[in-house]
Every structure is written in C-alpha cells, then in structure tokens.
C-alpha cells in the first residue's frame, strides 16, 4: 500500500547561512524527500513555512499519511490554525515524525502537553546512538549502535511524557545521554521523535539516519481501523436493555 508522506521544513537556515546551504543546497526537506523517494511504496511531497498555509492546507493534510517536521528558528511563525489541523489529523490517525529541534515546534508541544525542554550544546560532539529496542519496527536493519562524528549535543532531562516505546538512547562525547528515539500514540495517530539533525552537520545524508526515517514512516503510517466508528456527536444508546 502506498504511504503518502509530506516533509515539512521551515527552510530558513539554508537560505541565510552559506555553511548550511553548502550541506543542504535544496533544503533539509529535499535531502529527506530524496532519501524517501528511493522507496516505491512512498509518494513524497515537501512543504515549507513561506508557502501559503505553510504548504499544509486542509486538503494536503487530508492526503498525508505521515507528516515529517523540521523547524528551529521560526516555530513562532507557524500559524495556530495550521497547528490545529495538524493535531486534529494526528488524532484521526496521521503519523507525525518530529526531527531534532522540532522538539520545540508548536505541533509537537501540543501533542506532548509538556515543555519539551532539554539540555543542549553546539560543540561538535560525537554522538553514539544505541538501539535499545531491537525488535521495534523502527530499529529494523540497524546495527547495535551507530555513530555521528559531529552533532549538536542534546541531554537529559528531556521534558516529554514517558515514551510508550524507546528505540534509541544517545551517548555524547561530553558524557551526556539522551532518549533520542521515542514513540507515543495520540488518538489514532502515532508520533515519533528522532533527535539527530542539527543544520550545520550533514546528518540527513547519513544512510543509517535515512534508514531510521524510512522505518519510522512505515511504522507511523495509519493503521487500517476496519469497521471502527467513533460517533461522539449524540448520546450513546445502551447495548443492554435497562429498566
């Protein structure tokens, strides 16, 4: 079955900072989209902040099975109306994958209900990501651990609800650890947070990072709900006779 993916990126660093543009000449969204397009069961579109409705009209969201989100400096520019639609679609079953600094994005914070704050340092630490749930679909095909030679450090405490599944724990060369691959369900939708991806490093070109995102798309795709209905617009009739 085809999975319809929308890769959303605020797309500001790449336009302003030559060092970031050199790594992602067509934007972080295109680097991720290109990796996903190698998989024939995905149809992939991209959307960015400066498009009308941030490229996330109600029609596009209705046609999105999994939404991937990267944002950093412009979280506050994201319209609350668009955030409402995104969150509503997650409750209806759309998957949502928040990458790196999207821990502070409006839709992720709304879905978590907590401050989502964390410890951080931009000092080119080495990151070692350990698979701590090898049987999880998002860990499929991965080695016991993999390393990113240079990344921003994110450390605990990460202010999120306890994950329903924890797939990765990162260690950093400065000594910190971080829950770097976390799963939650929200309504009928699945949410995955994946930590790596600071804009000044080529993280999204790394084949294992791409594999995690591919696995996460497959995991977060809506589960067919068959004959399930959820009619909450009128009082519910009793299933047993009452006197």
Nearest residue to the partner Zn ion, using Cβ: 198
Nearer to Zn ion, 4 or 198 (CB): 198
Interface residue list for Zn ion (CB under 5 A): 101, 152, 198
Strands 145-155 and 119-131: antiparallel
φ and ψ at residue 64, rounded to 5 degrees:
-105, 125
Shortest Å, Cβ 172 to Zn ion: 13
Which run of H or E residues covers position 28?
A: helix 28-37
Shortest Å, Cβ 37 to Zn ion: 25
φ and ψ at residue 225, rounded to 5 degrees:
-105, 10
Nearer to Zn ion, 48 or 101 (CB): 101
Nearer to Zn ion, 30 or 152 (CB): 152
CA distances from 87 to 9, 10, 112 (A): 17, 18, 11
Q: Where are the alpha helices (DSSP H) in 93-223?
A: 106-112, 207-220
Shortest Å, Cβ 115 to Zn ion: 17
Quote the Cα angle for 169-209-15, to 5°: 115
CA atoms of 37 and 7, how far apart (whole Å):
11
Nearer to Zn ion, 127 or 152 (CB): 152
CA atoms of 106 and 141, how far apart (whole Å):
32
Nearer to Zn ion, 72 or 190 (CB): 72
Shortest Å, Cβ 100 to Zn ion: 6
Nearer to Zn ion, 44 or 148 (CB): 148
175: left (phi over 0), alpha (psi -120 to 50) or beta: left
Shortest Å, Cβ 201 to Zn ion: 9
- Cα 164 to its chain centre, rounded Å, is 15
Shortest Å, Cβ 62 to Zn ion: 31
């Amino acid at each position: 079955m085809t999975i319809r993916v929308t890769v959303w990126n605020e797309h500001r660093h790449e336009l302003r900072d030559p060092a970031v543009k050199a790594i992602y000449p067509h934007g972080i969204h295109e680097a991720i989209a290109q990796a996903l397009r190698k998989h024939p069961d995905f149809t992939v579109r991209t959307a960015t902040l400066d498009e009308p409705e941030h490229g996330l009209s109600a029609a596009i969201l209705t046609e999105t099975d999994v939404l991937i989100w990267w944002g950093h400096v412009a979280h506050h520019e994201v319209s609350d109306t668009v955030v409402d639609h995104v969150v509503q679609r997650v409750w209806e079953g759309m998957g949502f994958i928040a990458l790196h600094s999207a821990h502070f994005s409006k839709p992720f914070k709304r879905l978590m209900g907590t401050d989502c704050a964390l410890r951080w340092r931009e000092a080119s630490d080495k990151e070692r990501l350990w698979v701590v749930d090898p049987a999880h679909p998002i860990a499929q095909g991965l080695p016991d651990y993999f390393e990113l030679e240079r990344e921003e450090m994110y450390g605990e405490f990460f202010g999120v609800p306890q994950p329903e599944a924890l797939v990765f724990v990162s260690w950093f060369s400065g000594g910190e650890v971080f829950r770097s691959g976390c799963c939650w369900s929200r309504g009928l939708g699945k949410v995955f947070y994946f930590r790596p991806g600071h804009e000044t490093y080529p993280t999204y070109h790394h084949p294992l990072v791409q594999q995690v995102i591919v696995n996460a798309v497959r995991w977060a795709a809506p589960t067919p709900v068959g004959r399930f209905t959820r009619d909450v617009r009128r009082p519910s009739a009793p299933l047993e006779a009452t006197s």
